[in-house]
Chain A
Amino acid sequence: MLEIKDLHVDVDGRQILNGLDLVVEKGSVHAIMGPNGSGKSTLAHVLAGKEDYVVTGGQILFDGEDILALEPDERAARGLFLAFQYPLEIPGVATFNFLRTAINAQRKKRGEPELPVPDVMRRVREAAAKLGIDQDMLRRGLNVGFSGGEKKRNEILQMALLEPRLCVLDETDSGLDIDALKIVSDGVNRLRSPERSFVVITHYQRLLNYIVPDVVHVLSRGRIARTGGKELALELEAKGYAQYQEEAV
Chain B
Amino acid sequence: MAEVAIIKTAAEQQLAAGWQEAKGRLPGPALLRATAFERFAATGLPHRRVEEWKYTDLRALMRDAKPLAEAPDGAAKARAKEAGAALSPIEGRRLVLVDGSFVAELSDLAALESGLRVRSLAQALATGDRAVTGLIGTVAPTDDVAVALNTAFMGDGVVIEIAECATLTRPLHLVFVSSGRRPASVFTRSLALIGARARVMLVESHEGPEGCDDQVNTALELAVGDEAHVDHIKLTGAGAGSLHISSLMAAVGARARFNEFLFTTGATVVRNQLFVRFEGEGTVAGIRGATLLQGRQHADTTVVADHVAAACTSRELFKSVLDDESRGVFQGRITVRPNAQRTDAKMATHALLLSEGAEADNKPELEIFADDVQCGHGATAGALDEDLLFYLKARGIPAKEAQSLLIEAFVGEAVEGIEHAGLRDALMEQVAAWLKARG
Contacts and interface: CB of A to CB of B under 8 A. Distances in A.
A90 B409 contact: yes
Contact of A98 (B398, B405, B410): B405
Given A91-B413, A92-B412, A92-B413, A76 B405 contact: no
A88 B391 contact: yes
Interface footprint category on A: 20 to 34
A19 interface: no
Contacts of A49: 393-394
Which of A51, A75, A102, A141 is packed against the most chain B CB atoms within 10 Å?
Answer: A102
A105 B396 contact: yes
A101 B400 CA distance: 13
Nearest to A102: B395
A158 B397 CA distance: 13
Nearest to A168: B394
Interface stretch (B28-36, B363-371, B382-390): B382-390
A101 B409 contact: no
Contact of B388 (A48, A72, A88, A101): A88
A50 B390 contact: yes
Interface string A52-85: 1000000000000000000111011100011010
Contacts of B140: none
Contacts of B392: 90, 98, 102
B395 A158 contact: yes
A48 B399 CA distance: 14
A156 B386 CA distance: 23
A76 B388 contact: no
A93 B399 CA distance: 16
B223 to A, nearest CB: 35
Contacts of B412: 92
Contacts of A51: 386, 390
B164 interface: no
Contacts of A120: none
Contacts of B397: 73, 101-102, 105
A93 B405 contact: yes
Given A90-B409, A101-B405, A73 B396 contact: yes
Contacts of A87: 391
B408 interface: yes
B399 A91 contact: no
Interface in A85-118: 87-88, 90-93, 98, 101-103, 105-106, 109
Interface of A: 48-52, 71-73, 75-77, 81-82, 84, 87-88, 90-93, 98, 101-103, 105-106, 109, 141, 158, 162
8 contacts: A49-B393, A50-B390, A72-B394, A88-B388, A92-B410, A102-B392, A105-B401, A141-B409
Top 5 closest pairs, chain A to chain B, by CB? A92-B409, A76-B396, A106-B396, A72-B393, A102-B395
